[in-house]
A and B are shown apart, each in its own frame.
Chain A
């Protein structure tokens, strides 16, 4: 098992969960504490970087349910935000030159960087910023941050380079949430198939089902990237993607799907393997609204019944780490809670008996039909059988998952991978698909957002984290590792794939 706190490298990972679906709440991202690889000085500055990916965008607009593919290709490459979530997980200003906050935390004044131009030629103004934020918070928006930005009461544009945001309540995460907002040209039309941002790359070509090409934007306000452009080649099969790297069809694969696929690259001097720690959490969510999952004793018993470490080994071999709650070690409010409801089949039986289920229990796990969910469900079925619980496995597609589980909340238990960064806040929303409704947790999460300092926010979320673990709100299993394979000579690629971002500007090829 890898140490959770060791320096790591990582990037965007595997299969899209809900590619193209509204909200992209489960967008797969990764996180690590390490910095991006340094670029090779012998690199060719005009080299075009070929990236192999499994995540073709459904469309080109991240406010229109484009899925994680568009974040991978466009975040900080084609579109920039007022802020950027860096590869190391911090938030830094990009198009915002300065940011002032009033004493009560309700008024935020942003001064925009001067001299910034859109790819279509127009200058960046405060009207573009206002339009871009309103696009995300609009009724029709399918952005995952729509709810997070709902504290915005008003956006004013006193002059061309000043934006004033007034909040209805304090929101310490505003800069973080704004890092999800692309600044688009307010005159741009049909952003689902075209693009007009301020980033160092322009959309050159998008051949659906095949590839998306980006070339350099000559009038970019910042430093020239270390390469001459990039092409994302899209694959639907992980094996085909790995073969593309083996046959020199791509320079880099950011999402090796299983530890076993690495056998092809290990020991081969042509390739570099980088392993990191993602924020992708494999879990079994209960429908906490309904019996018997509304009983904490049942949830705790079902948590105790599972040997999580054995499951982690089955799926990832010696990689990944066991989780005790919803937060990965890289979140500031992480607490090691693996001792809470640890593997204890005897204890599970006793708790089930106490909850009135001494004769056993039967329920259905709705299981996405792609790896590793079916085999995970089989593992759980065997584990639960040991404590007298019978599980029926119902395989469903990703689309069915979205409709049946996420929208209709019509399920008993479901397997899923949650990939969002800083997503403990989902437990503060009783309307979320798992329906966890603990007033104390909801209060703590709301208060954390209204904190005056990051320390205060961290402490409150840490307490919420402990409460959801003790309440066995969900059965969290393990955190995926992040495995990146590149050709030797390719360097400077982002090692952390936060929110599926793949920053291109530093990537160099010798």
Chain B
């Protein structure tokens, strides 16, 4: 079973990744070219029809994969780097500082991602892919930091770590040799799950006009634009919706598969 979810996850994510990469070299039509009629139905020329401006819809949805993966990966990298660094550092901190850090994380986690994104956009005066990555990454970093802190503290409480510290091992080396190897598998699973959430968050931000600015064909933007034409051209909602579901589902499967693979206890249980 665990192999199946992993394979399904790899398949779906791999497909989206392949489509996203392909768009750098090829799309059925130029996604910005107004070459068709208004809301043309699917045809041999335009497999998924056209939008209101007569642009090829399939090409736009394909470009959307690139944006979703870019923002998802960017936010996960940012959230992971900031979150793990802060979490590990906090675990080494003195009790009072550590408690304050934990409280600050709780506050940050309680802050809705969308609200945080609005603040980031307001601070930068303009919405862009960068602000979307920053906002989602920052929100994610709090979750990752909390997890990293707990995991690190757990590792630091082990007898062999105490022995290593007594033998004079520096904290940097301790982190490199004992802490990170022990916490990274669990964090990898958490980051994979957060990747899926980041993709949804990006679509939500774009839907609200706070994500990728036009003419970036984010799936959220495409869904927003198709809202008023859903009765005339339902494919405008169905296709980006399916694409979004396939990527997020794939990422979730992948996270599940990774967890099964990296968690020896679960393997034993099976």
- Name B53's contact: one of A239, A264, A375 (CB within 8 Å): A375
- Are B52 and A315 interface neighbours, CB within 8 A? yes
Query: Whole-angstrom distance between the alpha carbons of A239 and B226 in the complex?
Result: 12
A378 interface hit (Cβ, 8 Å):
yes
- B185: chain A residues within 8 A (beta carbon): none
A263 interface hit (Cβ, 8 Å):
yes
Query: Whole-angstrom distance between the alpha carbons of A263 and B232 in the complex?
Result: 7
- B227: chain A residues within 8 A (beta carbon): 239, 371
- Are A375 and B225 interface neighbours, CB within 8 A? yes
Q: Which residue of A lies closest to B30 (CB)?
A: A382
Chain B proximity mask over A235-246: 1 for CB below 8 Å, otherwise 0 = 000110000000
Identify which of A42-50, A162-170, A254-262 touches chain B.
Answer: A254-262
In the complex, chain B residues 120-138 whose Cβ is within 8 Å of any chain A Cβ: 126-127
- Are B126 and A394 interface neighbours, CB within 8 A? yes
- Name A260's contact: one of B54, B210, B213, B231 (CB within 8 Å): B231
B264 interface hit (Cβ, 8 Å):
no
Q: A313-B38, A314-B54, A379-B53 are in contact. Are A395 and B228 (CB under 8 A)?
A: no
Q: Which residue of A lies closest to B236 (CB)?
A: A260
Chain A proximity mask over B192-209: 1 for CB below 8 Å, otherwise 0 = 000000000000000011
Q: Which residue of B lies closest to A257 (CB)?
A: B228
- A430: chain B residues within 8 A (beta carbon): none
B39 interface hit (Cβ, 8 Å):
yes
Query: Whole-angstrom distance between the alpha carbons of A369 and B232 in the complex?
Result: 23
- Are A377 and B53 interface neighbours, CB within 8 A? no
- Are A260 and B214 interface neighbours, CB within 8 A? no
- Are A382 and B39 interface neighbours, CB within 8 A? no
Secondary structure type dominating chain A contacts: helix
Chain B proximity mask over A249-278: 1 for CB below 8 Å, otherwise 0 = 000000001101101100000000000000
B233 interface hit (Cβ, 8 Å):
yes
- Are B231 and A261 interface neighbours, CB within 8 A? yes
Q: A369-B209, A375-B53, A393-B214 are in contact. Are A258 and B228 (CB under 8 A)?
A: yes
A374 interface hit (Cβ, 8 Å):
yes
Q: Could you tell me the distance in whole angstroms from the C-beta of A400 to the nearest C-beta in chain B?
A: 9
B181 interface hit (Cβ, 8 Å):
no
- Are B215 and A314 interface neighbours, CB within 8 A? no
- B214: chain A residues within 8 A (beta carbon): 367, 374-375, 377-378, 381, 393, 395
- Are B32 and A238 interface neighbours, CB within 8 A? no
- B231: chain A residues within 8 A (beta carbon): 260-261, 263-264
Chain A proximity mask over B242-261: 1 for CB below 8 Å, otherwise 0 = 00000000000000000000
B175 interface hit (Cβ, 8 Å):
no
B40 interface hit (Cβ, 8 Å):
no
Secondary structure type dominating chain B contacts: loop
Chain B proximity mask over A303-327: 1 for CB below 8 Å, otherwise 0 = 0000000100111010000000000
Interface size on B, residues (CB 8 A): 26
- A261: chain B residues within 8 A (beta carbon): 228, 231
Query: Whole-angstrom distance between the alpha carbons of A148 and B228 in the complex?
Result: 37
- A258: chain B residues within 8 A (beta carbon): 228-229
Chain B proximity mask over A275-317: 1 for CB below 8 Å, otherwise 0 = 0000000000000000000000000000000000010011101
B86 interface hit (Cβ, 8 Å):
no
B34 interface hit (Cβ, 8 Å):
yes
Q: Could you tell me the distance in whole angstroms from the C-beta of B24 to the nearest C-beta in chain A?
A: 20
Q: A260-B39, A314-B38, A314-B52 are in contact. Are A378 and B229 (CB under 8 A)?
A: no
- B229: chain A residues within 8 A (beta carbon): 258, 260
Q: Could you tell me the distance in whole angstroms from the C-beta of B234 to the nearest C-beta in chain A?
A: 10
In the complex, chain A residues 389-442 whose Cβ is within 8 Å of any chain B Cβ: 393-395, 397
Q: Could you tell me the distance in whole angstroms from the C-beta of B167 to the nearest C-beta in chain A?
A: 58
Query: Whole-angstrom distance between the alpha carbons of A381 and B214 in the complex?
Result: 9
Q: Could you tell me the distance in whole angstroms from the C-beta of B203 to the nearest C-beta in chain A?
A: 15
Q: Which of B34, B208, B224 has the most CB of A within 10 A?
A: B34
Q: Could you tell me the distance in whole angstroms from the C-beta of B120 to the nearest C-beta in chain A?
A: 14
- Are A375 and B32 interface neighbours, CB within 8 A? no
- Name B127's contact: one of A257, A315, A375, A395 (CB within 8 Å): A395
Query: Whole-angstrom distance between the alpha carbons of A393 and B211 in the complex?
Result: 12
- Name A379's contact: one of B34, B39, B224 (CB within 8 Å): B34
- Are A374 and B228 interface neighbours, CB within 8 A? no
Query: Whole-angstrom distance between the alpha carbons of A379 and B213 in the complex?
Result: 14
- A371: chain B residues within 8 A (beta carbon): 224-225, 227-228
- B225: chain A residues within 8 A (beta carbon): 371, 374-375
- Are A395 and B34 interface neighbours, CB within 8 A? no
Q: Which residue of A lies closest to B228 (CB)?
A: A258
Query: Whole-angstrom distance between the alpha carbons of A397 and B92 in the complex?
Result: 44
- A239: chain B residues within 8 A (beta carbon): 227-228, 230
- Are A381 and B215 interface neighbours, CB within 8 A? yes
Q: Could you tell me the distance in whole angstroms from the C-beta of A2 to the nearest C-beta in chain B?
A: 16
In the complex, chain A residues 33-72 whose Cβ is within 8 Å of any chain B Cβ: none
Q: Could you tell me the distance in whole angstroms from the C-beta of A262 to the nearest C-beta in chain B?
A: 8
Q: Which residue of B lies closest to A311 (CB)?
A: B53
Q: Could you tell me the distance in whole angstroms from the C-beta of A366 to the nearest C-beta in chain B?
A: 10
- Are A260 and B228 interface neighbours, CB within 8 A? yes
- A397: chain B residues within 8 A (beta carbon): 209
Query: Whole-angstrom distance between the alpha carbons of A24 and B31 in the complex?
Result: 38
Q: Could you tell me the distance in whole angstroms from the C-beta of B111 to the nearest C-beta in chain A?
A: 20
Q: A264-B231, A393-B215 are in contact. Are A382 and B38 (CB under 8 A)?
A: no
Q: Could you tell me the distance in whole angstroms from the C-beta of A7 to the nearest C-beta in chain B?
A: 27
Chain A proximity mask over B51-67: 1 for CB below 8 Å, otherwise 0 = 01110000000000000
Query: Whole-angstrom distance between the alpha carbons of A257 and B214 in the complex?
Result: 21
Query: Whole-angstrom distance between the alpha carbons of A395 and B207 in the complex?
Result: 12
Chain A proximity mask over B156-190: 1 for CB below 8 Å, otherwise 0 = 00000000000000000000000000000000000
- 8 A-B pairs within 8 Å (CB atoms) are namely A239-B228, A263-B232, A314-B54, A369-B209, A374-B225, A381-B32, A393-B213, A393-B215
- Give A contacts to B, CB under 8 Å: 238-239, 257-258, 260-261, 263-264, 310, 313-315, 317, 367, 369-371, 374-375, 377-379, 381-382, 393-395, 397
> Given A239-B230, A260-B39, list of 9 further CB < 8 A pairs?
A238-B228, A260-B233, A314-B54, A375-B53, A375-B214, A377-B214, A379-B53, A381-B32, A382-B34
Nearest first, the 9 A-B pairs at minimum CB distance are A369-B209, A263-B231, A260-B232, A260-B229, A258-B228, A378-B215, A378-B214, A395-B209, A314-B52
